[in-house]
Structure 1
Amino acid sequence: MTASDNKKSLLKKIISIILGFGPGIFAIGYTIGTGSVTSMIVAGSTFGMQLLWVLFLSCLFSGILMFAYGNYALVTGETALYGFKKHLKFGKLIAILIILGISFGQWNSLMGILGISSNIIFEILALNFSGLTPYKYEIILSVAITIIVTFYLLMLVGKYTFFEKILVVFVSFMGLSFIISFFFVQPHGIDVVKGLIPTIPDVPGGKMLVAAFVGTTMAAATFLSRPLFIQGKGWTIANLDQQKKDSITAAVLIFVISGVIMAVAAGALFYEGKKVTQVIDMASTLEPVAGKWAVTIFFCGALSAGLSSIFPCLLIAPLLVADYQSGTLDTSSKQFRIITAIACLVALIGPAFGANPIQIQILSQVFNVFVLPIVILGIILMLSNKKVMKDYKTSLGVYIGMYAALFFSLVISYNGTIALMGYFQ
């Protein structure tokens, strides 16, 4: 075998590993979108690595909850909300509240995602064509409409495997872009260690960012949608071990990529005393050390993060409604087309009114934490039900992890409430 053949063989292996991702790729797409990128950059530029502990706990609990929801789906053959409605007392009410809460949070997030993605494309164009600057609003709105219409049309023709392949491309490119950016700037090693010690910055906006962190990295939508994506993948109870590995891999990658983004912002901006308030400020993360090339790499990563989140955010409401009704999703149904069309129109509100997408994004992530305790309690009750789980027994370690996640979510929800009350005063 020649050196050329060896290289081709290695490339094929890498591609097969990437394409071998299961439903975890949707977890990464949901989690590391512009919401996560924005929260990590704002936190890194404002507090350095001080909130790394929040990221670590969020990813740890996310892995446990993905595993729990995945196992429930494989053992029972049911999806989450359908199971809640069928087996829990007041299950219908709980399921409806979850649908409303998550859809509200995700559609708000979609508004911020589309705004930031459109702003990023405008900034890339403005770097090369300075004459476009006076037409910023018109260009951003036109780009936003083009993006959302394109994604809507793709939604109408796509199936699970189609969405999965597109997400694999976006997520892979996003991860690579941010890792390349990391080699230009890094935080101090001692700050990374200190960041794992739980502390909340006692400054205006500190509590808000902690809640936003959890809202974006421990997203209830990620766990609830997992049974449906497992169903779409065609996994059965024979895939229990594969499901476990997929959950762990997704949680680890979310932590690594998010941590790298925070570290890049801390290394480039925090030590210089610079803060991020506008989308263009995110580009300055690397400009002082690497010029326009690094800015382009970083923007491409952030844009990939945004685009990788649009599919999951558009999918979430019809997914949850279909889950509640029957436990199956029909992407060719009239109901699917109508709900996703409404989501697309909501997404355009931010760009149409010229709102600051960074503020929208952080606020939307905070709203996501309030439904989290119900989602965690729901799966604890389901896994504890012997009639539902039959002969399958959940390990003590997983129960400890789920109860710890429930306590953590209650603390963060309280923290988010205080933060929002302070913000709107």
Structure 2
Amino acid sequence: MDVPTTNKSLLKKIIAIVLGFGPGIFAIGYTIGTGSVTSMIVAGSKFNMQLLWVLLLSCLFSGVLMFAYGNYALLTGETALYGFKKHLKYGKVLAILIIIGVTFGQWNSLMGILGISSNIIFEILVLNFESLKGYEYETVLITAIVIIVAFYLLMLVGKYTFFEKILVIFVTLMGMSFLLSLFFVQPLSVDVVKGLIPTIPDVPGGKMLVAAFVGTTMAAATFLSRPLFVKGKGWTIKNLNQQKKDSITAAILIFIISATIMAVAAGALFYEGKEVMHVLDMANTLKPVAGKWAVTIFFFGALSAGLSSIFPCLLIAPLLIADYQSGKLDTNSKQFRIVTAVACFVALIGPAFGANPIEIQILSQVFNVFVLPLVIIGIIILLNSKKVMNEYKTGLFVNIGMYAALFFSLVISYNGIIALFNFF
């Protein structure tokens, strides 16, 4: 009689831990979507574990920046863009440029996310209904419309806790699916170790993939939105330690899940000499070694990744605009509904024109890196301003982390510019 009770108690504890996750769940939602999944799979299939060092550095700096932005919100009571506008000399211009840059990148990403998610659902349907094969465009487009309308209606619920719980479910399913996939295939241990040595693949597309890696892992939207989510959680200056743990946990989970995806692709495809060009190629990552069930598991993980990203991507523009205006987000306002509706229409552009969602996704991640240096410079100035922070002083290690993140972002932005010139 004791065993069932113990198991039930353990299950309750696990559920409590998962549901108790803080604003970091949004960081994972922004970071590990189909953009991240696509980049990791393409990298793993094409370059094995060679880009693991880029992922490690990106996650390290992401943790530092999440911590920095979260602390700024708790110590000053202000959000990021509102703080830029209020305290910096050219803060208004900087804030507007950031809003435009981040929104452009996230809405482009949303097109890819919706396209890949719809294609994944189509492939799942084809496994059971082969007659749909001749109606790929129509099925994908209708699926995309259904998904985006459903998410828009859910957005109208307009409560932080609701968004958080939905994201917790998707992120948990995604993580479990990819970790389960890793049991079927793994890369060689020596390749994992080699992947921690900084090198950039000297092949066409190598530089672009590096930029895409950083664009999806060090997402400016993640840091800018954190103050609003921290405030939405109801945290105050008393939660500084909790905010620190939440940032570290989010960064670690982002690295573990992303590295797992890359490892699965490397183990299943790289050693076979196969590359990923289309959504079905991603689905087939595990098919040669584990059959239809493995494909279903992987599909489920990729779909959860996509759906976990739609919420944050739809939220980003109204979040940033509200941040700039007052530092407060009103999810029941007319402005919120109009801006999110525009985002939904933009998301449908890719599926409507039948564009390759994988190419859209990687390109959108590259564009994300260009606004990143501005986002880092802004928070460095604010956190080191005595006028803004009063008696609070930013620690030496945090400053070193932020300046290192700035240098890294500038190098990657330069790399991204070269990659785009080569692409076009």
Aligned-pair CA distance for 1:95:
0.1
Aligned-pair CA distance for 1:2:
1.2
Residue type at the aligned position of 1:379: I
Q: What does residue 306 of structure 2 align with?
A: 306
1:335 equivalent to 2:335? Answer: yes
* C-alpha distance in 2 between matches for 1:108 and 1:150: 20
1:18-57 C-alpha deviation (Å, 9 max, x unpaired): 0111000000000000000000000000000000000000
Q: What does residue 410 of structure 2 align with?
A: 410
Q: CA RMSD in A?
A: 0.5
Aligned-pair CA distance for 1:393:
1.2
Residue type at the aligned position of 1:46: K
* C-alpha distance in 2 between matches for 1:402 and 1:237: 21
* C-alpha distance in 2 between matches for 1:409 and 1:127: 42
Q: What does residue 197 of structure 1 align with?
A: 197
Q: What does residue 363 of structure 1 align with?
A: 363
Q: Following superposition of structure 1 onto structure 2, how do residues 176-255 of structure 1 map, counting pairs within 5 Å?
A: 176-255=176-255
Q: Following superposition of structure 1 onto structure 2, how do residues 105-184 of structure 1 map, counting pairs within 5 Å?
A: 105-184=105-184
TM-score, normalised via structure 1 length: 0.99
Q: What does residue 317 of structure 1 align with?
A: 317
Aligned-pair CA distance for 1:283:
1.2
Residue type at the aligned position of 1:28: I
Aligned-pair CA distance for 1:165:
0.1
Q: What does residue 78 of structure 2 align with?
A: 78
1:205-234 C-alpha deviation (Å, 9 max, x unpaired): 000000000000000000000000001000
Aligned-pair CA distance for 1:158:
2.9
Q: What does residue 353 of structure 2 align with?
A: 353
Aligned-pair CA distance for 1:81:
0.1
Aligned-pair CA distance for 1:422:
0.6
Q: Following superposition of structure 1 onto structure 2, how do residues 279-298 of structure 1 map, counting pairs within 5 Å?
A: 279-298=279-298
Residue type at the aligned position of 1:387: K
Structure 1 segments of 4 or more deviating over 6 A? Answer: none
Q: What does residue 275 of structure 1 align with?
A: 275
Residue type at the aligned position of 1:111: M
* C-alpha distance in 1 between matches for 2:395 and 2:2: 49
Residue type at the aligned position of 1:151: F
Q: What does residue 37 of structure 1 align with?
A: 37
Q: Counterpart of 2:371 in 1: which secondary structure?
A: helix
Aligned-pair CA distance for 1:392:
1.2
1:295-354 C-alpha deviation (Å, 9 max, x unpaired): 000000000000000000000000000000000000000000000000000000000000
Q: Counterpart of 2:369 in 1: which secondary structure?
A: helix
Residue type at the aligned position of 2:365: Q
* C-alpha distance in 2 between matches for 1:4 and 1:260: 32
Residue type at the aligned position of 1:123: E
Q: What does residue 49 of structure 1 align with?
A: 49
Residue type at the aligned position of 2:34: T
TM-score, normalised via structure 2 length: 1.00
* C-alpha distance in 2 between matches for 1:80 and 1:148: 29
Q: Counterpart of 1:331 in 2: which secondary structure?
A: coil
Residue type at the aligned position of 1:92: K
Q: Counterpart of 1:370 in 2: which secondary structure?
A: coil
Residue type at the aligned position of 2:106: Q
* C-alpha distance in 1 between matches for 2:44 and 2:349: 28
1:70-106 C-alpha deviation (Å, 9 max, x unpaired): 0000000000000000000100000000000000000
* C-alpha distance in 2 between matches for 1:162 and 1:389: 33
Residue type at the aligned position of 1:144: A
Residue type at the aligned position of 1:24: G
* C-alpha distance in 1 between matches for 2:418 and 2:126: 39
Residue type at the aligned position of 1:34: T
Q: What does residue 265 of structure 2 align with?
A: 265
Count how many residue pairs are aligned between Structure 1 and Structure 2.
424
* C-alpha distance in 2 between matches for 1:61 and 1:283: 31
* C-alpha distance in 1 between matches for 2:59 and 2:412: 14
* C-alpha distance in 1 between matches for 2:228 and 2:402: 21
Q: What does residue 385 of structure 1 align with?
A: 385
* C-alpha distance in 2 between matches for 1:161 and 1:392: 30
* C-alpha distance in 2 between matches for 1:90 and 1:357: 37
Residue type at the aligned position of 1:99: I
The percent of aligned pairs where both chains have the same amino acid is: 82
* C-alpha distance in 2 between matches for 1:204 and 1:10: 50
Structure 2 unaligned runs (5+)? none
* C-alpha distance in 2 between matches for 1:284 and 1:33: 19
* C-alpha distance in 1 between matches for 2:74 and 2:294: 44
Residue type at the aligned position of 2:119: N
Structure 1 unaligned runs (5+)? none
Q: Counterpart of 1:157 in 2: which secondary structure?
A: coil
* C-alpha distance in 1 between matches for 2:385 and 2:16: 38
Q: Counterpart of 2:199 in 1: which secondary structure?
A: coil
Q: What does residue 25 of structure 1 align with?
A: 25
Query: Higher mean Cα deviation, 2-11 or 80-89?
Result: 2-11
Q: Counterpart of 2:332 in 1: which secondary structure?
A: coil
Q: Counterpart of 1:119 in 2: which secondary structure?
A: helix
Residue type at the aligned position of 2:72: Y
Residue type at the aligned position of 2:272: E
* C-alpha distance in 1 between matches for 2:265 and 2:290: 14
* C-alpha distance in 2 between matches for 1:382 and 1:124: 49
